[in-house]
Amino acid sequence: MSWDKDPHVRSPWGRPIEALLEPRPRCQDLPGFDACYADIVDYILRCTHRIWEEKNIGLCATHYSADCRVWTLGGVSVGAATVIDNTLGAIEAFPDRSPVAEDVIWSEDAPGVFLSSHRITSFATHLGPDAAAGAATVVRQGVRVIADCLCRENLIIDEWLVRDNWQAARELGRDPLVIAQALAAADRAGEPARHDWRAAELARVRDMAPVAVPDDHPAAGPARALDLAFNRDLYGDAAAIVSSSIRAEWASGRLVWGRGGWIGLLMQLAAPLRDRRFRLDHAAARPLPGGDVAVALRWGLAGRHEGLGVWGTPTGRELLLVAISHYRLRGGRIIEDVTIFDELAVVRQVEGGLGAA
């Protein structure tokens, strides 16, 4: 499928929620999708609004497959019933949760099979007990989340969810390191087999070939840059695609401008890891007004924690990081970079959790 197919299916960027939720007739071929959805972007935005803001949680039963997998760096859940239970628990702790859409970068990977990369800031007040954050703090927070959803015939059949849990804990006044240590202790006390998925993911990142991106695809440049940086330590060459005035906003409150700052973000992840391996898992791009292009990359990084850096004293443990990056390109160069990963789950591995020996 052409990366710029159906250019009338627009990004939500800069448009008010009232306009986004205005009912529209079907304008894209969506076989098997409910008639209320005009296109794949409308499907993602409207069903999210119906479930989270209108609190029609039961719609998860008709929008997630019975065997869907929701992948996070903290664990994998299976099934629409589990999605319903987890959604109820999240709303119990944060009753006014409102996911504000920033972008939806999508691809049609096969006829009628769509991958949407949905970036939001989730605003909510902590009014109930939460497994990680503890008792209610009555603090209002805004947390960055990106969800990649594989969709077919009105159902999400796979979801990869990255949430900035380190920053979320900070905003609630909690020490994320203490939370990571407590979760790691619980991991070590439980049944080790429940973390086998992490070992499988580490093996996949290390052993499987990355997703191939054609040279003429807008995602090829950003994908090559990450490969040059993480697999070859060629950070200056990687930054050749970056605008001198780039604005980069990464997980855990990292915010920089310029090529030097962007290179520094890459090196913060690379420096603690030896025998490092980067793998691209998915790429998508969409045309934007004015000639800009939006690119989404989902990627994994594996390595041994044998270097000093942001994750403390080296432990020798094998670490896995899963990230989703959203870029805005202008004239072929990256002018904006939003990269989200769950750093709390990374540090949980540093502390011996999630099966990290």
Residue 49, domain CATH: 3.10.450.50
**Tokens of residue 156, six digits:** 């999400």
Domain assignment present for residue 175? The answer is no
Domain assignment present for residue 356? The answer is no
Using one digit for the tens of pLDDT, what is the confidence trace for 22-48?
A: 999 999 999 999 999 999 999 999 999
**Same domain membership, residue 199 and residue 331:** yes
pLDDT on residue 13: 84
Residues with Cβ within 8 Å of residue 277, at least 6 apart in sequence: 205, 206, 230, 231, 301, 302, 303
Asked if 146 contacts 162 with a C-beta cutoff of 8 angstroms, the reply is: yes
pLDDT on residue 289: 86
**Same domain membership, residue 220 and residue 106:** no
pTM for this structure?
A: 0.96
**Same domain membership, residue 140 and residue 274:** no
pLDDT on residue 22: 93
Range of the domain at 332: 192-350
Domain assignment present for residue 6? The answer is no
**Same domain membership, residue 150 and residue 46:** yes
**Same domain membership, residue 196 and residue 344:** yes
Of 131, 154, 169, which residue sits at a domain end? 169
**Same domain membership, residue 61 and residue 138:** yes
Of 169, 200, 222, which residue sits at a domain end? 169
Domain assignment present for residue 106? The answer is yes
Using one digit for the tens of pLDDT, what is the confidence trace for 46-92?
A: 999 999 999 999 999 999 999 999 999 999 999 999 999 999 999 99
**Same domain membership, residue 336 and residue 279:** yes
Closest CA to 130 of 177, 168, 167: 168
- Estimate the crossing angle of helix 343-350 against helix 176-189, to 10 degrees: 50
Closest CA to 197 of 3, 355, 83: 355
Beta bridge partners of 159: 70, 149
The number of domains in the chain is 2
Residues with Cβ within 8 Å of residue 169, at least 6 apart in sequence: 132, 133, 175, 176, 179, 344
**Same domain membership, residue 214 and residue 107:** no
pLDDT on residue 210: 86
Domain assignment present for residue 56? The answer is yes
Listed as ranges, residues in the chain with pLDDT below 70 are 1
